[in-house]
Amino acid sequence: MTDGIGSRFMEETQYGRFPDPDQEKGLPQPPFERVPAAGAKEIPLPQKAFSDLGRVPLHEVIQSRRSLRQYASSALTQDELSALLWWTQGVKKVSPEHGITLRTVPSAGARHAFETYLLVNRVEGLSGGLYYFHATSHALVPLSTEAGLAERLKAACLGQESVSGSAVTFMWVAIPYRMTWRYGERSYRYLHLDAGHVCQNLHLGAEAIGAGACAIGAFCDEAVNDFLGLDGRDAFAIYLAAVGKKKPTP
């Protein structure tokens, strides 16, 4: 094995190779979710109708799933967006006594170290722009509707047309201390594993509603972090995915 960054990462994140995490030192754990700023407007998402969406046999969904990079010009409905957010980061239970949430995807130690941001291009009833998903209230917090956001994010994703052509692009942001508090340097392995769990649910969920998704791992970290106003250390973009309705079959 070559002595590159990747091999050193695997070597140095083995158990016994790093100091005890802060949990073992008795330090308080971080909050399980970012709280929107005081007075921030929240847009509640529908929660009744989406339970009827996606009633497609699992075998059929898995069989037909593929990465889709070009989309129809039609918009997603709010029910569909709500379902995708629930399937990827939905909160099933809050456990205040343990300081954790139980969600629709697995996460190491139920740490759930991700926050979801959205670039909305075409969703019925929503203005185009940047939004934050407040998972415990299942609501969107508008962050920006300035012009040119789609092209700016597209440039940060190395010019990938799926970003500007999508109905919505999901951006998952890692809050590493939420994980390192318990697992120390090993956490960085778990963050990337957890990102895969989340994105796979998005792919399958999109397929189930007649849409498609394309996971995006090729992006300029600094540019995407700057787009989201992140410092790149205490919070950073870890994975993205574009989603849109399928074009009609000729």
Q: What is the pLDDT along the chain (250 residues), one digit of tens a residue?
A: 568 999 999 999 999 999 999 999 999 999 999 988 888 999 999 987 777 887 889 999 999 999 999 999 999 999 999 999 999 999 999 999 999 999 999 999 999 999 999 999 999 999 999 999 999 999 999 999 999 999 999 999 999 999 999 999 999 999 999 999 999 999 999 999 999 999 999 999 999 999 999 999 999 999 999 999 999 999 999 999 999 999 987 7
Q: How far is CA 207 from the centre of its chain?
A: 17
CA distances to 156, 221, 222, 233 from 226, in Å:
9, 8, 6, 12
Domain containing 123 equals 5-26+46-245
168 occurs within a structural domain: yes
State the DSSP code for 123.
B
Q: Is residue 178 part of a domain?
A: yes
Residue 175 falls within a domain, yes or no?
yes
The CATH number covering residue 118 comes to 3.40.109.10
Count of structural domains, the chain: 1
Please indicate, yes or no, if residue 116 is contained in any of the structural domains: yes
Residue 37 lies in a domain: no
The verdict on residue 36 lying in a domain is: no
User: Are the CB atoms for 156 and 225 separated by under 8 Å?
Assistant: no
CA 132 to chain centre: 10
Assess if residue 38 is contained within a domain: no
